Amino acid sequence: MRQPKHALLVLCLLAAAASARAADLNLLLITVDTLRPDRLSCYSPKYVRTPRIDSLAARGVLFERAFAHDPLTLPSHANILLGLTALAHGVNDNGKAVVPSEFQSLAEVLKAGGYATGAFVSAFPLDSRFGLNQGFDVYDDKYPSRAATVLDYPERRAEKTIAAALEWLAAQKSKWFCWVHLFDPHYPYAPPEPFAGRFRDDPYSGEVAYVDAALGKLLDAMDEKGETGRTLVILTADHGESLGEHGEMTHGYFAYNSTIWVPLIIAGPGFQAARVKDVVSHVDIFPSVCDLLGAGKPPALQGDSLRPLLQGKMRAPRSVYFEAMEGYLNRGAAPLRGVIEAGKKYFDSPLPELYDLRRDFDEATNLAPGTDLSPYKKRLEEKTKRDSSPLEARAVRRTDRETQERLRSLGYASASFVQPKANYGPEDDLKTLLPFEQKTVTAAQWAREGKSAESAGLLEEVIRVRKNNTRAYAQLAELHFSLGRTDSYLDALARGAKANPGNFTMVSAYGIALVENQKYDPGIEVLGQALALFDGDAGVRGSLGEAYWKKGNYEKALEHFNAALALAPGDAIINGNLGNFYVAWGLKNRNAEYVKRSFAHFEAAIATDPSLASIHNGLGGAWKIVGNTAEAIASWEKAVALDPNYDLPVYNLALAYLQTGDKTRALDFCRKYLSIKGTAITEEERRDIESLIDRCRK
């Protein structure tokens, strides 16, 4: 019998497994967001050199045909860390679901086995509020609180995430599991120099090259600490990026290989370089780790260990379930589900598709029109039934009887998501609706280029035809917001919420916008509708807290603020608002104890995001109230340094320096305040500042 090409790997891996039990191997899981395999030179040398990731492949096993089950960040990471697909855990979109705690995560398994566990994530879709923090001793999600634009996610660069991970790793004295998530290749593509200059015509590849260089610092540090020889390293991506293939520019819409084919490299002591052609998937990672580290495997895992393939042996072929639900949830499209099996890839949709991946990996020739699809449809139905879980619905909506009673006690009637259509036709297929998707992408590009009228017109065109395309409403609202058109901004959100009353994201965005624009009563009403749809969103709770506070109902405000913090304890905006709330409550009741409570929340906000000038301004106010003028001035100076055009701390500094007798500094800040306000200053504000100036000159 012919021996496998890398049969020598068998003895090496068996020896490594034995030593691993004695040495207690660490686990380093690296997930690079939005990473196409063909942008790694170990997969293809065509676009960019990635020497550091290549070095992992050179001492490990590279899987040529690894697949994600979802083309979105949160669902894919849930698949990896739970060893289950969305059929079981129910998380099939970003920002609308919480991972059910009933499932045992990889971090929980390893923690029970004596591992220190740390996670370092780079963007909002993986915020701890969405439930992937279960089992981690440290879950570092300290990315900035605000994104560049409304439709972008807040993120931190790879080097900062890796620095945080290295600080944690340096303190570990025993075996550890470290998960590092890097978001940089995600759109918009904006690599730092020198990568921006080197990849001026291909910024996506520039982001990948930057991530590769940043990972070098992590790998070098492990070498220097002597950890490489006792660490199992797994590198993968949550999904890929279309870059125009099949008419899709980014990801999340379709489920072609451009977005669900992902890199997978596994390296560790005793491994030799090898390439595996077998089809594998994200849910195979969890059971593989259990096998390689000798950890107990939860019985409900849907994947199978890759250990036979790592050892050069055969593994029985497995089918891979995949889905793309973003269009269904946000654009009124038919759901898209499918299965990869025996070299064929079947898409179940109103206009079904079938591809022979062995001959047509780029999915150029649809075999469905001339093929009997009933066997493929049957196998998908069987897999769907086998892998589904009754807990799936808990991810989407956690409104059990106790929650419903609480909502009713707050004045909110429980609502339900829009019911799906009984039957979907070709007009609902993602391919049919692609022109509308492309128009929203074009509108976004026009907005960035300053073509605001053209962008708005194109979005209105989409909305006229597809009133359930919530992305079009959101983009239109963002456009008006960026132009300072508050009424048009609110109108776009209002129309979106009215046309899509069961879409949580649309309804909650409208409610939050109403509160931000001091329309508290309608804001409370709309946020109540959002809360009845999904009660697990910290932003909704925090906004309700702010609305009730500004209406003078401090007890109800505190109830919502506390609920928000329970969902997102480290959220900088919520902590900052709660700090300001306690200061206001303390002043109202002349109770210094309330003011003192604010410090913990201001400090928590700054620990998460020290770049928020408003938090430093609020902290300065708290210090001033408790009598520490020096700390107050230091906080306000920090706020002005972060945002020189922020008028409130400038005014506070003018007043504080005058009170301390430093009239020169006070006069400087009075003049700065006038410069910032310009023609927008009210008569009352002008009289006030002129009075301060007179006092400075006496």
Residue type, 123: A
CA distance 634 to 531: 39
Residue type, 78: A
Q: What would the CATH number be for the domain defined by 8-320?
A: 3.40.720.10
**H-helix or E-strand spanning residue 437:** helix 430-448
pLDDT at 331: 86
Task: Please state whether beta strands 60-67 and 261-267 pair in parallel, antiparallel, or not at all (unpaired).
Answer: antiparallel
Task: Please state whether beta strands 176-182 and 26-32 pair in parallel, antiparallel, or not at all (unpaired).
Answer: parallel
Q: Residue holding tokens 């945080």?
A: 164
pLDDT at 14: 41
Indicate the DSSP class of residue 302.
-
Tokens read off for 348: 């179940």
Residue boundaries of the structural domains of the chain: 8-320, 409-535
126 and 106 Cβ atoms separated by less than 8 Å = no
3-state secondary structure of 118: strand
| Residue ranges in 551-612 assigned as alpha helix (H) | 554-567, 572-589, 592-608
79 and 323 Cβ atoms separated by less than 8 Å = no
pLDDT at 359: 98
CATH 1.25.40.10 fits 409-535, yes or no: yes
pLDDT at 392: 58
- Report CA torsion sign: 50, 55, 56, 58: positive
Q: Residue holding tokens 């900035």?
A: 144
The 3-state secondary structure of 637-672 reads HHHHHHCCCCHHHHHHHHHHHHHCCCHHHHHHHHHH
Residues 6+ apart with CB under 8 A from 453: none
3-state secondary structure of 26: strand
| Residue ranges in 225-360 assigned as alpha helix (H) | 257-260, 285-293, 307-310, 326-330
Residues lower than pLDDT 70 in the chain: 1-23, 146-153, 390-419
Phi-psi region of 527 (alpha: psi -120 to 50; beta: other; left: phi over 0): alpha
Phi-psi region of 131 (alpha: psi -120 to 50; beta: other; left: phi over 0): left
